Amino acid sequence: MSFIDGFCSQSCNEETKRRITLLICLTGIGIVFLLIFGTAAILENNIPVFACDILSAGLLFFNLVDARKRKQYQFNKYFGISVVSLLYVFLYITDGIENTAYVWYFTFPLIASYLLGSIRGGIATILMSIPILAMLLSKLKLPMAVNYSITFETRFIAAYLLVGIFSYLFEKTREKNREELNSLNQRLEITIRDRTSELIRTNEHLVREIEERKDALEAMHLSQESLVTVLDSIDATIYVADMESYEILFVNKFLKETFGKDMTGELCWRAFRNGSGPCRNCTNDQLIDSRKIPTGVCTWQGRNPLNGKWYVNHDRAIRWIDGRLVRIQIASDMTEFKKMEEKLSQSQKLESLGMLAGWVAHDLNNMLSGIVSYPELLLLDLPDDSRLRKPLETIRKSGIKATEIVQDLLAMARRGAAISEIVDLGQILRDYLSSPEYGKMMSYHPHVDLQTEIEDDLLNIEGSPVHLFKAMMNMISNAAEAMPNGGTITITLKNEYVSRAVPGFNQIDEGEYTMLSIKDTGLGMSAEDIEHVFEPFYTKKVMGRSGTGLGMSVVWGVVKDHNGQIDIDSTIGTGTQIKIRFPSTRASSREVAAETSMADFNGMGETILLVDDVAEQREIASGILNRLGYNVSAVSSGEQAIAFVKSQSVDLLILDMIMAPGIDGLETYRQCRKIRPDQKAIIASGYSESEKVRHAQSLGVGAYLRKPYTIRQMGETVLNELRSEQK
């Protein structure tokens, strides 16, 4: 930082800096001369002049120190002018040493104009003439005052005003010149900005001038090199092609690296499309009008057949250096954006299908309740040798199998994983490998080898074991189907800590995850297959084998219900790898309760209010609860349930979540809780709306019981809730 900068604030402009410099210089010179003249005055024993000189020098010095410390230029400027004016008036009146002090008066107009500007300096100059006029007109006899003649004073004031006028005109001219210079600079900046926008149109004239002036050849080369440097630094493919011959005239560095060669001199439709003629989507006709004048930018999207990538292309017609019309194209790779767009579209499609599947599953579960629960009730009353036992068992098992299909629909609809507990994915995998389902799958694929890699101290996740088992079974089955001639399935379970975005998992949050990888050496999938793999009933399995056609849709729903992320990487002829990341937990899984008998779920006459809008559901549930020893009442709507709770207390509410018409189960419980704050309740529904279920449970509702349910499931759920402490 320079010495002058120490007196300037951050907002100082160049003009202010100039005046501060003048203030410092004039103050410094004034202090030196005042000290010299003060010394001369004391030698002549002129005490008043000596005192005035020393006082003025001191004030100017402290004013300079204050200016540097506080950076208050405006105050210090006026203060300094005031000190000088008072000094000059004193010197004029006393005439200083040897009757020569009055000459300093002539310097005041210059100092005032330079420091204050033309207008303020002129005013200060006029004010300083007042003491002269006062002495001229009054002829006061003051102590120490010099008795100037009228002729002298008249000539003095005339000369003083002449110097003032000269100082004013000089400063005014300088200010005017400075304003004109600023105006000129502004106009120059505007001109430069306007000229910059016309750079492309003037390129043709520039090239022609360069050809005519050989002495400017080097400048042209430098300009071209700069342009190429800029174009080569852009991460987009850029090329220029003749609009008549389609010959490529220029390609940038990024394009060469993308396609692995320099295509300059080739035909654009052959180089980029491997075609036999101009492309169908060629934009040449859109880039110029009937008078061969460029019309503007044409933007379009397309997929390049050579590398399979999607590009957004910006085409424009311009004049080339030799005057001919050319097309310049700037293309940005939007493949990842397209993938994200396709995934979003797929997700929205699956959400819509899921909503439909959820409602269908709700109605099917209500109907299946009779097929599952009634045979179970009847079997309790039949002797072991009854001829009806086998048909009833067959009906019940068929109902349970149908229920499993409905569960697949719910999983696809992302309405199926309401039950959440601490789960060991390694144990889920081991359970599947020892299950009949795995044995049946391997019987279809005897040449498939399955290998597992499970990390020690694998972290648990929170979720539904049943749904995770089903998802894992579907993925392994799909991997086996992809290897008709045999191969290897590698299943990996390991812990991962994610601190940044992972390829294929761009939306994943930082934290600990349990990663499940299922990799096969099968046929692989095309990009089109991957786009549709999660759609319901999209399958390439062998016809005739068991399956609902919902396999990967179920996987997708389960992964999303568990806040997981899924990604598929597949190559035709090499195989497929599916990676799933689930958020981990360091909580330990609960121990499985010991086996219990039906008698352990019997009640002791507790009162239960059953709320369901379907008459058959009320009959089934009432029959089961009565059989278990409970005192049951049933109503068909939330409004009736509220009226019932107002009139009498019940030990437990069993609520259906979705009832029509009228209020749903969540609102019914909210109103009942206002009447009886300690009211216990469970949810029994064939359609798990996760948000509503979680909301109800946050208000105090206990377990969630999915329809259709068995007697054991109903008995265990009711008994556990009755024995639980109030939330």
Domains of the chain and any CATH numbers: 4-180 (no CATH), 218-333 (3.30.450.20), 417-585 (3.30.565.10), 599-723 (3.40.50.2300)
User: Residue 19 — φ and ψ, nearest 5°?
Assistant: -70, -35
What totals of helices (H) and strands (E) does the chain contain, helices first?
23, 17
- 249-253, 326-330, 458-462, 528-532: segment of lowest average pLDDT: 528-532
Answer yes or no: is pLDDT of 277 > 70.
yes
According to DSSP, residue 5 is labeled G
Reduce the DSSP state of residue 389 to 3 states and report it. Answer: helix
Q: Which among 645, 647, 690, 632 is positioned nearest to 666, based on CA atoms?
A: 690
> How does 194-222 read in b/e, with b if 16+ C-beta sit within 10 Å?
eeeeeeeeebbeebeebeeeeeeeeebee
Answer yes or no: is pLDDT of 714 > 60.
yes
Distances (CA, A) of 659 to 363, 410, 451, 613, 676: 12, 18, 49, 6, 22
Q: Which among 172, 51, 67 is positioned nearest to 109, based on CA atoms?
A: 172
Q: Which among 14, 106, 23, 37 is positioned nearest to 67, based on CA atoms?
A: 23
Q: Is the Cβ–Cβ distance between 654 and 675 less than 8 Å?
A: no
Q: How far apart are CA 18 and CA 491, in angstroms?
A: 79
Q: Is the Cβ–Cβ distance between 15 and 179 less than 8 Å?
A: no
Q: Is the Cβ–Cβ distance between 295 and 287 less than 8 Å?
A: yes
Q: How far apart are CA 448 and CA 432, in angstroms?
A: 16
Query: Tokens in use for 333?
Result: 């790779």
Reduce the DSSP state of residue 581 to 3 states and report it. Answer: strand
Q: Is the Cβ–Cβ distance between 680 and 721 less than 8 Å?
A: yes
In terms of Cβ atoms closer than 10 Å to its own Cβ (0-12, 13-18, 19+), residue 701 is buried
Higher pLDDT, 141 or 626: 626
pLDDT, residue 598, reads 58
Answer yes or no: is pLDDT of 140 > 70.
no
Taking the C-alpha atoms of 703, 708, 712 and 716 in order, what is their torsion angle to the nearest 10 degrees?
10
Answer yes or no: is pLDDT of 652 > 90.
yes
pLDDT, residue 545, reads 46
Q: How far apart are CA 333 and CA 302, in angstroms?
A: 10
pLDDT digits (tens, 9 = 90+) for 529-538: 777 777 665 5
- 191-205, 457-471, 509-523, 635-649: segment of lowest average pLDDT: 191-205
Q: How far apart are CA 120 and CA 78, in angstroms?
A: 11
Mean pLDDT of all residues belonging to the chain = 78
User: Residue 228 — φ and ψ, nearest 5°?
Assistant: -65, -40
pLDDT, residue 635, reads 93
**String of DSSP letters for 69-99:** HH--HHHHHHHHHHHHHHHHHHHHHH-TTTT
Q: How far apart are CA 61 and CA 83, in angstroms?
A: 11
pLDDT digits (tens, 9 = 90+) for 359-406: 566 566 666 666 767 677 776 777 777 787 777 777 777 776 666 666
DSSP H helices, 95-244, are 107-116, 118-138, 150-197, 199-212, 217-232
Which amino acid type is present at position 199?
A: L
Answer yes or no: is pLDDT of 332 > 60.
yes
Q: How far apart are CA 147 and CA 173, in angstroms?
A: 38
Averaged pLDDT, 299-322: 82
Residue 693: how many CB atoms within 10 A of its CB?
20
Alpha carbon 402 to its chain centroid, in Å, reads 45
Higher pLDDT, 123 or 687: 123
Q: How far apart are CA 112 and CA 80, in angstroms?
A: 10
- 34-38, 224-228, 387-391, 712-716: segment of lowest average pLDDT: 224-228
Answer yes or no: is pLDDT of 414 > 60.
no
pLDDT, residue 699, reads 81
pLDDT, residue 450, reads 92
Distances (CA, A) of 180 to 115, 249, 358, 583: 20, 47, 78, 69
Averaged pLDDT, 197-214: 74
pLDDT, residue 356, reads 61
Residue 478: how many CB atoms within 10 A of its CB?
22
Q: How far apart are CA 501 and CA 507, in angstroms?
A: 7
| Residues paired with 178 in a beta bridge | none
Averaged pLDDT, 97-118: 74
Averaged pLDDT, 443-464: 89
User: Residue 266 — φ and ψ, nearest 5°?
Assistant: -85, 165
Angle CA(241)–CA(242)–CA(247) in degrees, nearest 5?
70
Averaged pLDDT, 153-162: 79
pLDDT digits (tens, 9 = 90+) for 232-259: 778 788 888 888 888 888 888 888 878 8
Q: Is the Cβ–Cβ distance between 361 and 687 less than 8 Å?
A: yes
